[in-house]
Amino acid sequence: MVDSMERMAGAVYPGHRRSSARGACFSGVFTPTGAAAQLTVAAHLQRRPVPVTVRFSSSEGNPHVPDSAPVTRGMAARFHLPDGTHTDLLGITVPLFVASTPLEFFGLTEALRPNAESGHPDPSRVQEYVAAHPHLAGPITQQPPVPASYGTAAYWAIHAFIWVDAAGGRRPVRYRWQPAAGRMNLTPEEAATCADDYLSGELHERLRRGPVAFTLHVQRGEPGDPTDNPTVAWPAERSDVAVGQLELTGPVDDQEYWSAQRFDPGHLTAGIELSDDPVLAFRSRAYAESYRRRNENEPKGM
Ligand code: HEM
* CATH code of residue 254: 2.40.180.10
| Closest C-alpha among 186, 215, 216, 210 to residue 199 | 186
What residue ranges line ligand 1, CB within 6 angstroms?
A: 1-2, 5, 17-20, 23, 55, 57, 74, 76, 90-92, 97, 102, 105, 157-158, 230, 262-263, 279, 282-283, 286-287, 290-291, 294
Q: What is the pLDDT, as a whole number, of residue 116?
A: 84
**Rounded Cα–Cα distance for residues 20 and 272 (Å):** 25
For residue 105, the CA-to-ligand 1 centroid distance in Å is: 12
Q: Is residue 115 part of a domain?
A: yes
Q: What is the pLDDT, as a whole number, of residue 48?
A: 96
Q: Is residue 187 part of a domain?
A: yes
Q: Name the 3-class secondary structure at 222.
A: coil
CB 52 within 8 A of CB 27: yes
- Domain residues for 190? 2-295
Q: Is residue 301 part of a domain?
A: no
Q: Is residue 193 part of a domain?
A: yes
**Closest residue by CA, ligand 1 atom 27:** 97
| Distances, alpha carbon 21 to alpha carbons 59, 64, 222, 248, in Å | 7, 9, 36, 22
Q: What is the pLDDT, as a whole number, of residue 301?
A: 54
Ligand 1 pocket test, pick from 1, 86, 90, 275 with the greatest ligand atom count within 8 Å of Cβ, gives: 90
Q: Is residue 300 part of a domain?
A: no
Q: Which residues are annotated as a binding site?
A: 287
Q: What is the pLDDT, as a whole number, of residue 302?
A: 45
Helices and strands, number each (H, E), in the chain: 8, 10
How many Å is the maximal CA-CA distance in the chain? 60
Q: What is the pLDDT, as a whole number, of residue 149?
A: 98
**Rounded Cα–Cα distance for residues 167 and 107 (Å):** 42
What averages of pLDDT result for each successive group of 10 residues across the chain (302 residues)?
95 95 97 98 98 97 94 98 98 98 97 90 93 96 96 98 98 98 96 95 97 98 97 96 98 95 98 98 98 84 50
Q: Is residue 200 part of a domain?
A: yes
Q: What is the pLDDT, as a whole number, of residue 296?
A: 87
ipTM of the complex: 0.98
**Closest residue by CA, ligand 1 atom 1:** 102
Total number of domains constituting the chain? 1
The ligand 1 atom nearest the CA atom of 5: 10
Q: Is residue 175 part of a domain?
A: yes
